Every structure is written in structure tokens, then in C-alpha cells.
């Protein structure tokens, strides 16, 4: 029997309607419109596509969006100055610097320059540290979106075996932390696998919840999945395909066709985790605006 599809697109749409309602309510009560500042350096196609989708989502939610697109040769000092300007701008409640940056720019220096109270990506050391010890903070958007998907689908995480494939700072490490924290959507026993893991299959077969964020197609196949497991595929890979209008098709890190015959619940690519990332960015920006009004 094929797995049930965990539709992130549908869930994201429902959440965005609720966010739009809350934005309208905040405007009416305080006169404040949540604002998101975005910095894009260079013309990476995937980054440009994400930023365009973010612009559309902000508009639909009734938020203010200020997007600055810079050439690849922009200097690090110029970007740091722009970040500081947004830090000081009361119209901007959240700052997003789209990664990756050109090689001549230090990503850590730029991220560290973002004020923690405007770090709606949840990447600064302050927010990462607060997440680690369970304090209030902005949670990274993709990991937070994954937890929301599990909660909305009624997936029990407490006491379950969760395996995360991938150890990136953006997805792997933070989603592992959220799954193990003593909170709703957490309290799981978590194993993190990576490129140094020997016999990956022996670990994935133990997973009640399997999160795959390896950045490589077909990292996990159906025979590597425990029957009845929940599979969250974070990967977005462009596979050459001359039959498609754009010359490629999107595929995850999991072989969907074989995996769906073993899993009980699985996310598709596209239409799974992706829509939730922008949704949680809007969620964090709204929360930042709320905190600003309280001050």
C-alpha cells in the first residue's frame, strides 16, 4: 500500500491565510506593518527563484518587503553596511541575507552582523545558542516548518526513533535539535548521519521518522526505509530532463517511487517541505513585529 502524501503546499496555504489575518489585526491595533528586508548578491537561479516567491508571499500576507539585489562583485563591506542600515530601520522587522554568497564574502561575518532581534532566519549565534538551551528565539525556517508538518499530520515524535541524514547548519543540525528538545514535536531519540557514516542503511532502517537533507538525489531508497515510517525529504535537486520545458526536473534526496511503497507518510518534491520554509519566514517576521510593538 502506498504512503499517504504529506502535502506541504496545502498546509502552507492554510498557515499563510492565518498569518495574513494576524498581520491585518496587528496593523489595525498598532498601525505597524511587519517588514522584511532581503539582500540577494549575484544571480544564482535557485536563490533568485526563492526570493521571487518570498516577495509574492509577503505581498499576499500584507507585509512590507524591501528587496535589495546586488551584483556578484559587491564587496563585503558594502553588504555589512547595508545590513547595519536595515538593523537601524524601524520599518524592517526581519532581515534575510540569501545564501550562498560569492566566495569573496564571509558568510559568517554577514550573518553575525544581523541584529538577533531581526534574525528571522534563525542563523545568528545568539539565536542558535538560545535554541540549543531551550530559550525563546527565532527558529530556523526549514527545520521549524518540518516540525509544524509533523504536528499538523498528527505524527507522534515523543519516544520515537528519529534519524536525520545530513549535518548542515541550515537543516540537519537544527532539525535534530528540535526533534530531541523536551517540547511538543520533540522528545525523540535522534541519530544524525552524514558523509562519515558507515552503513547508512543500518541506521535509516531504525527510523520511525526519517529526515533526509543530504543534498544528493537517491541518497535513500525504499529498501533503506523501515515499513510504516514517516519520511521527510528536504532535498531539491535539478535533474537534467530534455522533455521538460526548463530542461530539468526537480527531485528530492529520497527515491520517491520506491520509498512510498514502504513509508506510511512521505513528503513529495516539489510541494513538500519547500512551501513551509517561506511560510515560517513570514511567521518569524510577524513575531518580530509583535515584539517590536511590545517594546
Is 179 in contact with 200 (CB distance < 8 Å)? no
Is 91 in contact with 123 (CB distance < 8 Å)? no
Number of Cα atoms under 13 Å in the Cβ half of residue 202: 3
The catalytically annotated residue of 22, 54, 118, 208 is 54
Active-site residue, 121 included: yes
Is 34 in contact with 65 (CB distance < 8 Å)? no
Cα separation of the two ends of the chain = 54
Rounded to whole angstroms, the Cα distance separating 29 from 174 reads 34
The catalytically annotated residue of 22, 118, 119, 121 is 121
The catalytically annotated residue of 22, 98, 148, 177 is 98
Rounded to whole angstroms, the Cα distance separating 108 from 113 reads 8
Estimate to the nearest angstrom the gap between the alpha carbon of 107 and the chain centroid: 18
Active-site residue, 54 included: yes
DSSP string, 87-151: HT-TT--EEEEPSSPPTTS-HHHHHHHS-GGG-TT--SHHHHHHHHTT-S-PPPHHHHHHHHHHH
Rounded to whole angstroms, the Cα distance separating 269 from 234 reads 8
Which residues participate in catalysis according to the annotation?
54, 98, 121
Amino acid at each position: 500500500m502506498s504512503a499517504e502524501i504529506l502535502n506541504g503546499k496545502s498546509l502552507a496555504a492554510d498557515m499563510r491565510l492565518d498569518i495574513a489575518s494576524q498581520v491585518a489585526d496587528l496593523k489595525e491595533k498598532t498601525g505597524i506593518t511587519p517588514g522584511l528586508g532581503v539582500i540577494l548578491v549575484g544571480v544564482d537561479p535557485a536563490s533568485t527563484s526563492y526570493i521571487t516567491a518570498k516577495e509574492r508571499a509577503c505581498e499576499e500576507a500584507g507585509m512590507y518587503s524591501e528587496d535589495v539585489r546586488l551584483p556578484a562583485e559587491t564587496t563585503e563591506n558594502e553588504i555589512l553596511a547595508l545590513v547595519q542600515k536595515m538593523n537601524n530601520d524601524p520599518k524592517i522587522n526581519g532581515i534575510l541575507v540569501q545564501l550562498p554568497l560569492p566566495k569573496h564574502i564571509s558568510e559568517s561575518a554577514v550573518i553575525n552582523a544581523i541584529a538577533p532581534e531581526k534574525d528571522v532566519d534563525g542563523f545568528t549565534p545568539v539565536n542558535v545558542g538560545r535554541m540549543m538551551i531551550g530559550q525563546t528565539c527565532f527558529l530556523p525556517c526549514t527545520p521549524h516548518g518540518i516540525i509544524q508538518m509533523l504536528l499538523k499530520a498528527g505524527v507522534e515524535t515523543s519516544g520515537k526513533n528519529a534519524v536525520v541524514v545530513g549535518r548542515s547548519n541550515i537543516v540537519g543540525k537544527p532539525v535534530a535539535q528540535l526533534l530531541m528538545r523536551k517540547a511538543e514535536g520533540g522528545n525523540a531519540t535522534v541519530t544524525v548521519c552524514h558523509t562519515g557514516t558507515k552503513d547508512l542503511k543500518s541506521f535509516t532502517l531504525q527510523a520511525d521518522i526519517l529526515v533526509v537533507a543530504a543534498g544528493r538525489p537517491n541518497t535513500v531508497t525504499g529498501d533503506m526505509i523501515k515499513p510504516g515510517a514517516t519520511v521527510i525529504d528536504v532535498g531539491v535537486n535539478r535533474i537534467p530532463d530534455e522533455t521538460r520545458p526548463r530542461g530539468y526536473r526537480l527531485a528530492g534526496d529520497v527515491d520517491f517511487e520506491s520509498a512510498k511503497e514502504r513509508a506510511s507518510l512521505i513528503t513529495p518534491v516539489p510541494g513538500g517541505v519547500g512551501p513551509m520554509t517561506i511560510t515560517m519566514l513570514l511567521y518569524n517576521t510577524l513575531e518580530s513585529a509583535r515584539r517590536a510593538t511590545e517594546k
